[in-house]
């Protein structure tokens, strides 16, 4: 696969942009674009130049989801090339940077941080980080897509597979024949995608993510191309490992509550991850919340006044996702 490796100093994990080109049809497409920072812009321009292209040559941009480390440069490239920008309908308003959509996310984030028990000083630190990063890039004019849509881009056929959990509109894209796929942050090779904090719009985030991973397991791809780091040659095995990780984390949370008593998401997050800074101030308690919320809906935990507690005195840490 024709991959351009991109830097990522603001968030952990190197990003990928994938180049789909067809010389015969004179078509060029990108899957994801990276952050709108000078260094990443240079990485992407240099990578395209090595292949004989520039931003102005891009015909289509396929975005796995709205996060700025995947979609940040889409608007800028579109402005230079008039490329079509495809993204799931749930994420399209954020890629377009519609004020109402952005305000709704910011309001929801504030509500969640308060619900999770995040202290005011940590909330202020998170807000300062988000304001200082300046990585949103230019707004794009996206073409919304949905599950099952087939895209003909860069001489390739891509089938859209909606994969919510990490983000409401995250999509994977099966390549010709269905043996491989671009998976964005649905499955990653080194760490597990954040669930709960990465997109506060997602309801029942762990449940939705588990369903996504199970769907990818059922498709049993031979290889997948993630949004960060290197390709995954045994994606089904990796997906199963991620599910087991979430089972273990859920059991660990039950054991913590059994030993220490009722707690909010911030307290559970501190137990899981220790001190947090930057974007992790929302990712950490968001991840804890995703598991607590799942256990609450499964009837294993009660929720009252912002805290979760086991519903029985004898806690069974066997969990089913």
For the chain, what are the domain ranges? 3-106+132-234
Q: Which residues of 266-283 are buried (b: 16+ CB within 10 A; e: fewer)?
A: bbbbeebeeebebbbbbb
Q: What is the pLDDT of residue 282?
A: 96
| Predicted TM-score (pTM) above 0.75 | yes
CA atoms within 13 A on the CB side of 270: 12
Q: Residue 110, SS3?
A: helix
CATH classification code of 3-106+132-234: 3.60.15.10
Instruction: Provide CB contacts within 8 A for 77, sequence distance 6+.
Output: 30, 33, 55, 58, 61, 83
pLDDT for the residue numbered 1 = 81
- C-alpha distances (whole Å) from 276 to each of 131, 193, 247 are 18, 17, 23
Give the integer Cα–Cα distance in Å for 227 and 62. Answer: 12
pLDDT confidence of residue 9? 62
Q: Is 58 strand, coil or helix?
A: coil
For residue 273, the model assigns a pLDDT of 94
* pLDDT on residue 25: 66
Give the model's pLDDT for residue 13.
Answer: 66
Residue 233 phi, psi (nearest 5): -85, -15
Please answer whether residues 68 and 36 qualify as being in contact, where contact means their C-beta atoms are separated by less than 8 angstroms. yes
Mean pLDDT, consecutive 10-residue segments, the chain of 321 residues?
83 85 85 93 96 96 96 97 98 97 96 96 90 81 98 96 98 92 96 95 97 96 96 97 95 94 96 92 97 95 94 72 79
């Amino acid at each position: 696969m024709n991959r351009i490796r991109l830097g990522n100093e603001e968030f952990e994990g190197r990003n990928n942009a994938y180049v789909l080109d067809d010389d015969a049809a004179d078509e060029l497409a990108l899957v994801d674009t990276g952050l709108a920072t000078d260094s990443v812009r240079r990485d992407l321009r240099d990578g395209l130049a090595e292949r004989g292209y520039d931003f102005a040559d891009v015909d289509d941009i396929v975005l796995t989801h709205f996060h700025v480390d995947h979609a940040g440069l889409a608007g800028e490239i579109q402005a230079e090339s008039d490329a079509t920008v495809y993204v799931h309908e749930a994420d399209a308003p954020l890629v377009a940077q519609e004020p109402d959509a952005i305000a709704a996310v910011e309001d929801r984030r504030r509500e969640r941080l308060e619900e999770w028990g995040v202290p005011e000083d940590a909330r202020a630190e998170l807000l300062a980080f988000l304001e200082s990063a300046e990585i949103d890039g230019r707004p794009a004019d996206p073409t919304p897509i949905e599950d099952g849509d087939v895209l003909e881009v860069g001489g390739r056929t891509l089938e859209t597979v909606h994969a919510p959990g990490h983000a409401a509109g995250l999509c994977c894209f099966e390549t010709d024949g269905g043996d491989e796929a671009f998976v964005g942050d649905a499955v990653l090779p080194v760490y597990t995608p954040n669930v709960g904090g990465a997109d506060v719009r997602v309801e029942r985030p762990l449940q939705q993510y588990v369903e996504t991973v199970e769907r990818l397991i059922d498709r049993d791809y031979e290889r997948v191309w993630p949004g960060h780091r290197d390709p995954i040659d045994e994606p089904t095995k990796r997906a199963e490992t991620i599910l087991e990780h979430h089972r273990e984390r859920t059991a660990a949370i039950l054991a913590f509550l059994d030993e220490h008593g009722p707690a909010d998401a911030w307290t559970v997050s501190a137990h899981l991850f220790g001190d947090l800074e930057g974007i992790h101030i929302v990712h950490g308690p968001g991840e804890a919340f995703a598991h607590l919320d799942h256990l609450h809906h499964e009837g294993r935990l009660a929720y009252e006044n912002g805290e979760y507690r086991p519903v029985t005195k004898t806690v069974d840490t066997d969990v089913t996702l």
